[in-house]
């Protein structure tokens, strides 16, 4: 029995509404998730298009936060048998954060100064601890339940706001883009968790041709937006200078 059949049997209809019976999903392999790379670039594109960063530190840190928010909800994929996908998601999350730190360290962009201007060491540590705790909890939940809800969006955004207030909106935009994008495919998500009511527009399969088309379009769009904003020019100049010195 494929995942879609199991999902159909797990639905209970009452008064025209659809109620998801989450217990039915335990033990089976479900690969009905959109590729992480697609969410990665949709998150970046959404955040940059809405907020249009005007400084280099916020452009780099905001892009990293948007990418993180765009892929973070799928760390719950392991509960449905997709453990390899979960490992990839965690790896990409780590890489996104590491890339921002590395860029700031190499090119002296000023992200650390911007961070400490509105935060403190104790706040950063507390925010990271709470963020990681939520990740541990979310990883153990059913796919598209808690991690794909507005409650998770709010809680994770609050953690980011404690760590780095200036990029909270970028993270939230990336996270919200993930929730809205997943509405388009066939598997239900519990946006109003802890309510068991699921939502889906059932427009296409999450792992089909449309997924790849969206990946290509948003990849190109995100690259265009990052280059378009004026703060990118000093970053490009700094990178060129850095590589020239080391040749």
185 by DSSP, 3-state: which? strand
What percentage of the chain exceeds 90 in pLDDT?
Answer: 26
pLDDT surpasses 70 at 69: yes
What local confidence, expressed as pLDDT, does residue 241 receive?
63
Each residue's pLDDT tens digit, 179-215: 998 888 777 888 999 888 888 887 776 666 777 888 8
Distance CA 205, CA 184 (A): 9
Buried-exposed string 184-194: b where 16+ CB fall within 10 A, e elsewhere: bbbbbbbbebe
CA nearest 209: which of 82, 38, 50, 64? 38
Which sequence spans correspond to the domains of the chain?
A: 37-47+55-245
**What is the pTM (predicted TM-score) of this model?**
0.75
pLDDT surpasses 50 at 9: no
Distance CA 143, CA 59 (A): 31
Each residue's pLDDT tens digit, 85-124: 667 777 777 888 888 888 778 777 788 888 888 888 899 9
| Confidence category of residue 230, pLDDT binned at 50, 70, 90 | low
Helix (H) or strand (E) holding 20: strand 17-20
| Confidence category of residue 59, pLDDT binned at 50, 70, 90 | confident
- Secondary structure letter of residue 142 according to DSSP: P
């Amino acid at each position: 029995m494929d995942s879609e059949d199991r999902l159909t049997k797990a639905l209970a209809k009452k008064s025209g509404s659809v109620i998801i019976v989450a217990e039915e999903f335990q033990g089976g392999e479900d690969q009905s998730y959109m590729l992480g790379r697609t969410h990665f670039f949709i998150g970046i594109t959404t955040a940059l298009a809405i907020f249009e960063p005007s400084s280099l530190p916020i452009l780099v840190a905001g892009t990293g936060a948007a990418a993180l928010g765009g892929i973070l909800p799928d760390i719950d994929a392991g509960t449905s048998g997709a453990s390899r996908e979960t490992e990839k998601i965690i790896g990409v999350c780590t890489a996104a954060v590491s890339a921002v730190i590395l860029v700031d360290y190499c090119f002296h962009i000023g992200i650390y100064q911007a961070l400490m201007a509105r935060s403190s060491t104790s706040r950063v540590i507390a925010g990271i601890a709470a963020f990681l705790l939520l990740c541990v909890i979310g990883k153990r939940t059913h796919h598209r339940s808690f991690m794909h809800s507005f409650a998770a969006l709010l809680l994770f955004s609050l953690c980011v706001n404690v760590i780095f207030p200036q990029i909270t909106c970028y993270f939230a935009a990336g996270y919200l883009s993930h929730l809205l994008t997943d509405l388009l495919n066939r598997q239900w998500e519990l946006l109003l968790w802890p309510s068991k009511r699921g939502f889906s527009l059932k427009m296409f399969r999450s792992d089909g041709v449309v997924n790849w088309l969206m990946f290509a379009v948003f990849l190109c769009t995100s690259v265009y937006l990052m280059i378009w904003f004026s703060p990118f020019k000093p970053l490009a100049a700094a990178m060129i200078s850095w590589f020239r010195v080391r040749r």
